[in-house]
Structure 1
Amino acid sequence: MRRRVNPEGSVYKRCTCKDANGKTLGSKCPKLRRAGGGWHPTHGSWAMQIELPVRTKTERRPFRRSGFDGRDAATALLDHIRALLNLAGDDPHLAIQISDLIWGTGRREALPDVGTVTARIRAGVSASVPTTTAQYLTDWIGNRRGLSPNTMRSYSDHIRLYLIPHLGDIPIQNLKDRHITDMFTDLDERNAAIIAAKASPDPAVRATVKGVRPIGPASMQRLLATLRKALNDCVRKAKLVPTNPALSIELPSGKPPTPKVWTTKAVARWQQTGQRPSPVMVWTPPQAGAFLDYAERHDIMLYPLFLLILHRGLRRGEAVGLRDFDVDLDDAVLTVAEQITAVGYVPIVKDVKSDAGERVMPLGASTITVLRDYLARRDRLQQVSGDDWPDTGLFFVRPDGNAWHPQRVSQRFDDLVEASGLPPVRLHDLRHCAATYLRAGGADIKEVQETLGHATQALTSDTYTSVLLEFQRAYADTVGDLIPRNTKAA
């Protein structure tokens, strides 16, 4: 007959002594007790046992652990189990969940923390099944409210592309800083593989990473920020973990790379290796002029938009979202107040990035000439279309009168750059060109800041103070010329 286990639990001693038949005596060894009935102080080791809640009357779950050096250790484990079971109160279903949790704990595993199980119960999740990081992140992003479309897209992409593939299978309660560090190490190794493939002399190898970009330091920082935010909420709101393991992670600075100029040597090296000196590159004025000439010959509708970005430093969304009444060619001024961006591939109309982003800027004579020619061409297209011409209210439109999609504009720009044979820059890099040319022409940081719509001069100074090599050379001998010398000719 099986021995019943005390449902309240008990602490006792057992040993490994054997009877005449070689059977272990366990708790029945007569040496475990002294003559007075008390436990022998040195013989045997301490153990505990308790009967766990079950689903049916015929089921039994006698939970036993042994091998404790002292009574206090065995009693502490018993008290821990009692505390876990008490969390169920009068709820039989919750009692079974906690019983499953305790029963499923391996002999070498520690029991779950009472506070962690309490947090799971309050959060309305199963007490017995650990929440994976993938499950938590999916629930977290699904319950987020009040975020901008761009922020929601960024969070979702980080979770889908990086966090779940690298961390998703780990129970959120077991997530440690080492797991997060391993993820960023894997991403660094992936970056190195992409860079090596792009530099390969084998065209087939280069083709495997065409259009694939390494994850830059700034993107790494944003990925870490998403994880920190999600885990902060896990600590404060869901209360599934006591601390945020992402807080101790340190990454290289996400400061944007310094723009560099496509010098003759840089172009020659790019032609040989396909490598750029920096992710952010600036054309020299002759290179920019060559691009505008090429764009004017091959895409007359987008050529004025590219020229305006290059002359006045507009963002892509600001140029695409420019409205007719924002452009006053008679008074030679341009108002930037609205932009069209893309979330996924869905165009979104919204205000410019900051209060400083809404700005009025003057237009030069050469810019006005190109924009007037564009308006005349647009008017002719509208007359041909008649009633089919859509009333978008936008300044720059496609040949059929519809709005440009921001990503289509970027794609067309990339195609034109590649076809022109010029060294590559991004469409956004035309802003760097504009800032560089302004500085080369004598504009101070404040003027550049106001033109580009930055909130602070510090942002402008940190990002756009790279100047043309020729401009730098103009001041190369300034200090030397100021220092008098008495050196005599030999």
Structure 2
Amino acid sequence: MPRLPEYVTPVDTGDGKRYEVRVHGARPDGERFQFKRRFKTVKDAIAFHSEVTSGLSKKTYIAPSDLTLQRAVDDWLVGQRIRPNTRAAYVASLRPLVDALGAKPVQAITKRDIEHVVQDLLNGKSKMGSWNAPQIFKGKETRAKWSASSINPMLARARTVFGDLMAEGIVVRNVAALVKPIPTVKPEINTLTAEQAAILLASTDSHCYGVAWRLALLGLRRGEILALEWDGIDFEAGTLTIRAARLATPGGVTTAAPKTESSKRVLPMPDELTAALRRARRRQNEAKLQMGSSWPNSGLVVVDDLGNPPYPTTLTVAWATALENAGLPHVRLHDARHSCATLMHLDGVPAVVIAAWLGHTDARFTLATYAHSNNDALADAAVRIGAITNGAAAEGNRA
């Protein structure tokens, strides 16, 4: 029998003789690895060794790894450098994937595995697990059906996770990228007209959250409204400074830096807002005198009648109630920001100015996302274009 290569070792097993191959190599990060496989024939053993060593020399071979999806996602989250509420959103979106496939090695996960997770979410058959599970889900066995707007962010995060694993040389391909997103229809964004905004502000002026609605219609995000401090209001200069955001997290509420660097901004205050802020501060001072030491000294502009800062979702519910009490159609609290951008756009404010006002870095994004024509504006445009075309027709007839 020909002499065996030094990397092939004969092994006697209960099922007969096998030929064991040991391979040594290094991963892209420099970590050394060793693994072995057994074959029934010397020919198969030599072929395997040749394939592996060729791949190692060309840097195309992926070494075996027992890294599980749960560990991979945990490691990925650590390296994201993101705000707490963004991390919470990532965890929430990835939870079904980790619950279903968390114990499985990432190298063993297939497109079909992820497709099954998607189908279970669509059909309301996704099983709840324990990975980062909030207390409110304790005892719940199955998730409610997820829509495309929830599933697609999960797939986007999964593509990023597997993309990083591929870059690290842990997986040979990004299987998550093979799963197509669920088709969606972009939801219509509703905005308040100038008249509706005026009705809302007039009907809530004396309410503890009335000033919050003014700030929302000024274009501030919910988190920016909740984090606005009296120290950031300069009545003499007529400006307000946005330098933080108060955000909901699984553990409660946290105050963090604004969404982007451009979100930190100083805005001139309209006279009506200045007057409303003075009234709000006067009401708070009067309540503080009545309550004494029991009044929380948060320093925040938006608080309830007892001086407590509202939870973010509490403000959202209060907004819906305020619209209903004013006899106005429901629009989301964030749509007040859309309303601000749209009204400024319809009034001829340049896009770059609107972007700076809202805290955006790209005016094109501002126009594409926030500036919408409402029905009244479209009707006015119809009258104008009608006048133009009628005038042109009249000129033609006279000619």
Instruction: Give the TM-score band, short-chain normalised.
Output: 0.7 to 0.9
**Secondary structure at 1:485's aligned position in 2?**
helix
CA contact (8 A) 1:141 1:156 kept: no
Quote the offset at 1:234 in angstroms. Answer: 2.7
Could you say what secondary structure the match of 2:20 adopts? helix
User: Residue 191 of structure 2: which of 257, 261, 282 is its match?
Assistant: 282
Where does 1:311-330 land on structure 2 (aligned, <5 Å)?
312-330=218-236
- Give the superposed CA RMSD: 4.0
**Counterpart code for 1:281:** N
Determine the C-alpha separation between the residues in 1 that align with 2:82 and 2:226. Answer: 24
Q: Deviations over 1:206-225 (max 9, x none)?
A: xxxxxx895454x5443223
Shift of 1:253: 8.0
Shift of 1:359: 1.9
CA distance in 2, matches of 1:226, 1:388: 45
Larger radius of gyration: 1
Unmatched 5+ stretches in structure 1: 1-7, 10-48, 53-59, 65-77, 89-93, 104-110, 126-130, 191-211, 259-277
Would you say the 8 A contact 2:204–2:210 is kept in 1?
A: yes
- 1:232 is matched by which residue type in structure 2? G
Maintained 8 Å contact 1:352/1:358: yes
Q: Secondary structure at the match of 2:262?
A: coil
Which sections of structure 2, spanning at least 5 residues, go unmatched? Answer: 26-32, 41-47, 125-143
Q: Does residue 82 of structure 1 match 2:20?
A: yes
Aligned to 2:135: none
From 165, 173, 178, the counterpart of 1:243: 173
CA shift at 1:102, angstroms? 8.0
Sort the Cα spacing of 1:235 and 1:63 in 2 relative to 1 into closer, same or farther, 3 A. farther
Q: In the TM superposition, what are the counterparts of 1:87-486 in structure 2 within 5 Å? A: 119-120=63-64, 125=66, 133=69, 135-137=70-72, 139-141=74-76, 144=79, 146-160=81-95, 162-168=96-102, 171-188=105-122, 215-217=147-149, 219-237=150-168, 239-251=169-181, 257=186, 278=188, 280-296=189-205, 300-310=207-217, 312-417=218-323, 422-483=328-389, 484-485=392-393
Q: Quick one: structure 1 residues 346 and 405, their matched pair in 2 at CA, closer, same or farther if it must change by over 3 Å?
A: same
- 1:18-29 → structure 2 map (5 Å cutoff): none
| Contact 1:180 1:246 (8 Å CA) reproduced | yes
Answer yes or no: is 1:61 the counterpart of 2:43.
Answer: no
| Residues 51 and 61 in structure 1, CA contact (< 8 A), matched pair in contact too | no
CA displacement 1:79-135 (0-9 Å, x = unmatched): xx632x4569xxxxx99x957x989xxxxxxx9996899734xx6x4xxxxx654x4
Instruction: Look up the SS of the partner of 1:340 in the other structure.
Output: strand
> Taking structure 1 as reference, are residues 286 and 145 closer, same or farther at Cα in structure 2, changes over 3 Å only?
closer
Superposed counterparts of 1:21-60, under 5 Å: 51=11, 60=13
Q: TM-score, normalised by structure 1?
A: 0.60
Q: In 1, are the aligned partners of 2:216 and 2:225 still within 8 Å (CA)? A: yes
Give the 3 Å change call, closer, same or farther, for CA 281–138 of structure 1 in structure 2. same
Partner of 2:129 in structure 1? none
Q: How far 1:362 sits from its partner (Å)?
A: 2.1
Is the 1:51–1:62 contact (alpha carbons within 8 Å) kept by the matching residues of 2?
Answer: no
Contact kept? 2:97, 2:114, Cα under 8 Å: no
- Residue identity in the other structure for 2:15: P
Alpha-carbon offset, residue 464 of structure 1:
1.4
**What percentage of aligned pairs have identical amino acids?**
24
Q: Offset of 1:63 from its aligned partner?
A: 5.0
Q: Who is 1:33 aligned against?
A: none
2:127 aligned residue? none
- Amino acid paired to 2:346: A
Distance 1:145 1:216 in 2: 24
The amino acid that maps onto 2:153 is R
Q: How many residues align?
A: 351
Q: Return the offset for 1:141.
A: 5.0
- Quick check: 1:320–1:406 contact (8 Å CA) kept in 2? yes
Q: 1:142 to 1:250 in 2, by over 3 A?
A: closer
Q: Deviations for 1:181-231, whole angstroms, at most 9, x for unmatched residues?
A: 4444554556xxxxxxxxxxxxxxxxxxxxx895454x5443223212221
Quote how far apart the aligned CAs of 1:252 are. 6.2
In 2, Cα distance between the equivalents of 1:251 and 1:156? 19
| CA shift for structure 1 position 335 | 1.8
Structure 2 CA distance, aligned partners of 1:136 and 1:286? 54
SS at match of 2:263: coil
Residues 465/173 of structure 1: CA separation in 2 closer, same or farther (3 Å cut): same
CA distance in 1 between partners of 2:117 and 2:327 (Å): 38
Amino acid of the residue matched to residue 472 of structure 1? Answer: L
Deviation sequence 1:219-264 (CA, Å, 0-9, x none) = 5443223212221333343x4422221234443688x946xxxxxx
Change (3 A) 1:151 1:304: closer
TM-score (norm 2): 0.72
AA at the equivalent of 1:353:
K
Structure 1 residues 171 and 282: alpha-carbon distance in aligned structure 2, compared to 1, 3 A threshold: same
Task: Please report how far the alpha carbon of residue 322 of structure 1 lies from its aligned counterpart in structure 2 after TM superposition.
Answer: 0.8
Compute the displacement of 1:146 (Å).
Answer: 4.1
Cα offset, 1:454, TM superposition: 1.2
